[in-house]
Amino acid sequence: MKKSYYNLKGNDVLARSYNCPISFKFSVELSRELRNKHYKQAIKYLEDIMALKRHVPIVRYNSDVAHRKGQAISGVKSGRYPVKVAKYFKKVFEMAKANADYKGLDSDKKDLIVKGCVVSQGIKRYSYQTKGRRRLRRDQTTNIEVVLVQQGKFVNKKKEHKKIADKKKKTKPEEKDVEKEKAEVTQEKGIIKEQQKKEIKAQKELLNKEMQKKHNL
């Protein structure tokens, strides 16, 4: 699970957790329900599972699973309350949000969505008893991968803060010096234009005088 299952782009954020001591089957069922949800909705969904207010519909691994009251969810009524799985998923989601804040995404808005939630089997470890005896059953672990995406234009908040800070760093005396230089340049240009106008007038007057002399002759 080193490579991501998704092609990450500029406004995508990835978070992973390896070899979590949780059920792989319940993780598969829970990851299906969390996809394409808003980040806040996903966190609330996990918190409701931990508080036993909402159950996870068991669609694929539903053999010998009891039915729950109420309407069918995802086409089935069978469900469980995987509290331990929800705790680990919540940790990974919080890691993804922290990565989004570090990257510069605006995670406070409602456009932060769960693009992907993938589960895979981790390492299987033998469990040991006293006196070094090894049990035949191996403990299974699960890998979790979560990808969040911010819809709309990618706005990097860090770069915006840097631009504002750079503007504040400019001292007022430096700005005044620049303004003075601009004023001096404009004054010099004005003086040159006036001199050119005077020279043109003098040349015209000389030409007029010469023309009058010719007519008198």
Helix/strand/coil for 35: coil
Residue 162: the pLDDT is 59
**Residue 95 in this model has a pLDDT that exceeds 90:** yes
pLDDT at residue number 128? 77
Question: In residues, how long is the chain?
Answer: 217
Q: Is the dihedral of CA 197, 199, 201, 204 positive or negative?
A: negative
Question: How far is the C-alpha of 58 from the C-alpha of 29, rounded, in Å?
Answer: 6
Q: Is the dihedral of CA 178, 183, 187, 193 positive or negative?
A: positive
The DSSP element (H or E) to which 197 belongs, if any, is helix 172-216
Q: Is the pLDDT of residue 97 over 80?
A: yes
Average pLDDT over residues 183-201: 78
Q: How confident is the model at residue 151 (pLDDT cuts 50, 70, 90)?
A: confident
Q: Rounded distance, CA 111 to CA 39, Å?
A: 8
DSSP reduced 3-state for 38: strand
Q: How many CB atoms lie within 10 A of CB 100?
A: 21
Which carries the bigger pLDDT value, residue 180 or residue 38? 38
Give the rounded percent of residues in the chain with a pLDDT score beyond 90: 43
Alpha-carbon span 13 to 148, nearest angstrom: 5
Residues with Cβ within 8 Å of residue 200, at least 6 apart in sequence = none
Neighbours of 78 (CB within 10 A): 20
**Which residues 6+ apart lie within 8 Å of 68 measured at CB?**
55, 77, 78, 79
What is the distance, to the nearest Å, from the Cα of residue 69 to the centroid of all Cα atoms in its chain?
A: 39
As a whole number, the mean pLDDT across the chain is 82
Residue 52 CA to residue 216 CA, distance in Å, equals 118
